[in-house]
Chains A and B, each alone.
Chain A
Amino acid sequence: MMRPLLLLLAGAALACAQDSAGLVKQGEQVFAKTCATGYCHGARGSSAGAPRLAARGFNQAYIAGVVVRGIPNTGMQGFAGRLPDTDLAAVISYVAALNGVVNPTSGLGGPAATGSAEPQLTGEAARGALLFRQALRGFGRCSTCHEVGGFGISVASPIAQLPASVDALKALATPNVKTATLESESMPVLVLSDGKQGAQFYDLSATPPVQCNALPGSVKFSAGSSWRHTSAITAYSDAELSAILAYLHAVIQP
């Protein structure tokens, strides 16, 4: 929860630097692209599938809250972390203007904060970021098992230590992968929990891994496995793996 808040405050600071009319104009563009689309709020908030937003008497604080946090159990999701902070601020101003608020601001208020948690990626690292989660690779992409930078499935624990080279990435030791024996079958697994309620683990014998929930006493785990990280990264060339490592080095602090 902490990071989005910080980002929002940073966004508010940026927004304050702009004049109100400029902010509203920018918000109009963001709104057209993000909120008016599809079955949602329609052009200039005139309503399509989702409710009308123009001339509803909404005040700025309410608008800001809904834009940031969404409305639970409806199609309206919070946009914190989904839109750049400057766009968030701008779209709040625009919707406020649609509701007759004079000289709207971002409505976020609060003290100015500086800095952003996400470093700007360039060159090799930027290419690596795309490769890491490239949809064209289907289940062969890194993000099938790793969550980094808000994308991917956290099958594996968060990456804490990074191999120094592509060769080291291929030879990566995976002591957390164990061998599970169920009935007469055995498979490499990542154990999530093993207690009185049963055992939860990822079955790594298939890609994508399957999260299994075994009845108490039905599965036994033993150390070590035949599973190798190198067989999970065959969709990438060495050059691509090198770019992915550059990305991970840029975003993961040791």
Chain B
Amino acid sequence: MRLLLALFALSVALAQDAGPTHADWPSYGGSDFSWRYSALDQINTGNVKSLAPVWMFQTGDYAENLQATPIVEDGVLYLITARARVFALDAATGREIWNYRYPDPPRAVPGFVGNRGLAVGDGKVFFGTKDDYLVALDQKTGRMMWRVNIDDARQCGCNITAAPLVVKDKVIVGGTGGDGAHRGYLTAFSTSNGHLAWRWYVVPGPGEKGHETWKGDSWIFGGGAPWLTGSYDPALNLLYWGTGNAAADFYDAERVPSGADKNKNLNLYTASVVALDPDTGKLRWFHQEVPGDIWDYDSAYEVLLMDLQIRGRTRQALVHMNKSGLTSVLDRTNGELLGVFSVPEVRTWVTGITEDGKLVGRNEPQLGKATAICPSAAGAKSWNSMAYSPRTGLIYVPVNELCNDITPNNRPAEEGQNYMNGEFPIRLIPGRATNSHLDAWDPATGKRVWSMPYKYVLLASMLATAGNLVFTGNPEGDFFALDAASGNKLWSFQTGAGHRGASVAYSVNGREYIATSTGWHSSVVGGAVQALFPDQDWRLGSSMVVFALPESSK
């Protein structure tokens, strides 16, 4: 018994060690547990007032803002811009070490310009492109080593905007296309030579389990594209990923088998969290968060792996939010649902959620009629990540209170073309003085601990640190630090351009740095919400702004 207890304690300790980052920021979500939490505490609630900029880097690529989370390794910061220009910078000074410019794809390549990050591993820098290549650069020199095409963007209507994830000897990447007539997938390649390792289709084909949840041939264009970045638990050897919505988004008569129970798993494995074997790409378990989704509530977002005390027991859990703001707490060893809570203040798509995750009072848009649905398809939270601090035990979540009036249509699918099957003008909620809030939630209890309201919208990722601080930015250009325990604003700096990217913490030679990307503008959600505030002129840009304490006050 004592030995068992000791082993259990050890495994928990390992899990808690794997979550925080230290001197480096090695992965898109910080660590492969995706906490966006740094164990550095040189900058803390006591001294953050003195935080000051130490260097800036202008990428010169102002096309579609700087969305990417940088990677920091051994004092070098790696950065990618919207049009896949890659930079290696001295993380202490901003001096450019090398740069690589991916050739602009021909104009005929459809899709959105944007890139949310790169990955570093096996001596290489990996990133995806608009024309659907996975590219490997030499980490030391920036020389292109190899690239491999994952699809024809002109045909699939899909692109790679997500950061890849390196797991052992493989690099794994998802793509967009969940709103088009396309069948989503994850693809894994060998980090050494780019050889295909496996592909996992979100939508199972004939003869595969789950195929029966699709009507007729609808699986062929069933969507589900996993368009962001997953997580990895080395102790369990499980890869976790969120999947996109089923297509068509707002009209389900072509994809739901007749007589199907919408409370049960439907159109698998869309709108789900899945656990895969990273060596083979085989599905180990899944949890569908929005069965019978008809609101474009993707589950493609980040997956946070953490150990939680739930009903008196330590559980190896994961925490995951989808676009609706429903947040699931699962046992990450087997997918068992441990808890679920809804984050937005205004919710009209369901009247409630039972403890075992069943949706109550579904408000389904009807063909040809406008139905007011809150939150909007832009998401109660957009794709920008939340953060988790093990010191407070809280997750930090930017939440937008927007609605859309969904009018479904039944246009037939055309390969690679938009297949949302609906109009969904996004609008403000009348009578609200604030349209978003930055929240701290306790994932173990599903209770909101504090909330900071904000006038416009919050679309930048969160960063938490052991200095008991939470950092993020807003579209007006303010980059700010809150007390992680109370939500009190302790520091703010006007960076000159709106925030739609991410911030990270790292250290070089014992000095802690906080780096943030800046630059508003996006033809997708950012643009849609900016149209709601026509008097605002949130500024474009594409710069890294990096802060530290003055040398004398550290």
Contact = CB atoms under 8 A, between A and B. Distances in A.
A46 interface: yes
A208 B190 CA distance: 12
B525 A49 contact: yes
Contact of B155 (A39, A139, A143): A143
A211 B146 contact: yes
A50 B179 contact: no
Interface string B66-84: 0000000000000000010
Contacts of B156: 135
A213 B418 CA distance: 36
A87 interface: no
Nearest to A136: B220
A199 B524 CA distance: 39
A206 B194 contact: yes
A207 B527 contact: no
A170 B320 CA distance: 50
Q: Is the interface of A mostly helix, strand, loop or mixed?
A: loop
B196 A208 contact: yes
A43 B423 contact: yes
Contacts of B57: none
Contacts, number: 121
Interface string A20-44: 0000000000000110111100110
A42 B112 CA distance: 17
A219 B63 CA distance: 38
Contacts of A38: 179, 418, 420
B154 interface: yes
A210 to B, nearest CB: 4
Interface in B135-151: 143-151
A140 B531 CA distance: 44
Interface string A65-101: 0000110011111100110000000000000000000
Nearest to A214: B145
A208 B523 contact: no
A48 B420 contact: no
A113 to B, nearest CB: 21
Interface in B72-118: 83, 107-110, 112-113
Contacts of B113: 73-75
Contacts of A47: 531
A205 B192 CA distance: 14
Contact of A210 (B63, B107, B147, B531): B147
Given A36-B423, A37-B420, A136-B220, A206 B196 contact: yes
Given A49-B527, A151-B154, A70 B112 contact: no
Contacts of B199: 138-139
B174 to A, nearest CB: 16
7 contacts: A43-B425, A49-B528, A52-B531, A209-B148, A211-B147, A211-B148, A213-B146
Interface of A: 33-34, 36-39, 42-43, 46-52, 69-70, 73-78, 81-82, 133, 135-136, 138-139, 143-144, 150-153, 203, 205-213
Closest 4 CB pairs of A and B: A75-B523, A210-B194, A206-B195, A49-B528
Given A136-B205, A150-B108, A151-B155, 5 more contacts: A38-B179, A42-B425, A48-B423, A69-B107, A203-B195
